[in-house]
Amino acid sequence: MKLKLTIPFCFTLISGYLMAQIPALDKVEPAFWWAGMKNRKLQLLVHGQNIAGSTVSLHYPGVKLAAVHKVENANYLFIDLEISAAAKPGKFPISFKKAGGKDLVYNYELMQRNHSAQWAQGVTNKDLIYLIMPDRFSNGDPKNDVVPGMRETGLSHDSMYSRHGGDLQGIINHLDYLKNLGVTAIWLTPEIENDEPHASYHGYAVTNYYKVDPRYGTNELYKTFVAKCHEKGLKVIKDLVHNHAGTEGWILQDMPMKSWVHQWPKYTNSNFRDAAVMDPHGAAADKKQMLDGWFDRSMADINQNNPYVQNYLTQNHIWWVEYAGVDGFRLDTYPYNDPAYMADWARKVKAEFPHLSIFGETLVWSVPNQAYFTQGNTVNRGFDTQLPGVTDAQIKDAIYEALNGKEGWTDGVNRLYNIVAQDFMYQDPTRNTIFLDNHDMSRFYSMVKEDFTKYKAGMAMLLTMRGVPQMYYGDEILMKNYSDPDGKVREDFPGGWAGDKKDKFTEAGRSKQENEAFDFVRTLANYRKTSTALQTGKMMQYIPRQGVYTYFRYDAKSTVMIAYNGNDKETMLDTGYFTERMAGFTSGVDVLTGKNLTNLKQVIIPAKTTIVIELKK
pLDDT at 207: 98
268 and 347 in a single domain? The answer is yes
199 and 318 in a single domain? The answer is yes
Query: What CATH number does residue 565 fall under?
Result: 2.60.40.1180
What lies within 8 Å, CB to CB, of 579 at 6+ separation is none
Residue type present at position 418: N
pLDDT at 248: 96
Per-residue pLDDT band for 10 (boundaries 50, 70, 90) equals very low
Provide the phi-psi class of 500: left if phi over 0, else alpha when psi is between -120 and 50, else beta.
beta
- Rounded Cα–Cα distance for residues 118 and 597 (Å): 40
What lies within 8 Å, CB to CB, of 335 at 6+ separation is 274, 277, 290, 362, 364, 373
Query: What CATH number does residue 89 fall under?
Result: 2.60.40.10
pLDDT at 4: 63
- Rounded Cα–Cα distance for residues 473 and 434 (Å): 15
Domain hosting residue 307, numbered range: 129-246+260-530
Strands 468-472 and 129-132: parallel
For the chain, the domain total comes to 3
The secondary structure of 500-541 as a DSSP string is -S--TTSTTTS-HHHHHHHHHHHHHHHHHHH-HHHHH-EEEE
Please report whether residue 389 resides in a domain. Answer: yes
410 and 440 in a single domain? The answer is yes
Residue 578 has pLDDT above 90, yes or no: yes
Percentage of the chain lying above the pLDDT 90 cut: 90
345 and 212 in a single domain? The answer is yes
Across all residues in the chain, what is the average pLDDT? 94
pTM for the structure as a whole = 0.96
453 and 376 in a single domain? The answer is yes
Name the E strands within 428-502. 433-435, 468-472
Q: What is the pLDDT of residues 90-122, one digit of tens each?
A: 999 999 998 777 789 999 999 999 888 889 999
Q: What is the pLDDT of residues 317-376, one digit of tens each?
A: 999 999 999 999 999 999 999 999 999 999 999 999 999 999 999 999 999 999 999 999
CB 526 within 8 A of CB 127: no
Q: Which DSSP category does 491 fall into? A: P
CB 352 within 8 A of CB 314: no
- Rounded Cα–Cα distance for residues 607 and 564 (Å): 9
pLDDT at 25: 82
Q: What is the pLDDT of residues 12-26, one digit of tens each?
A: 333 333 333 334 689
Percentage of the chain lying above the pLDDT 70 cut: 96
Q: So which residues are the catalytic ones? A: 332, 361
221 and 142 in a single domain? The answer is yes
Looking at 468, 500, 530, which one is the last position of a domain? 530
What number is the average pLDDT over the span 417-445? 98
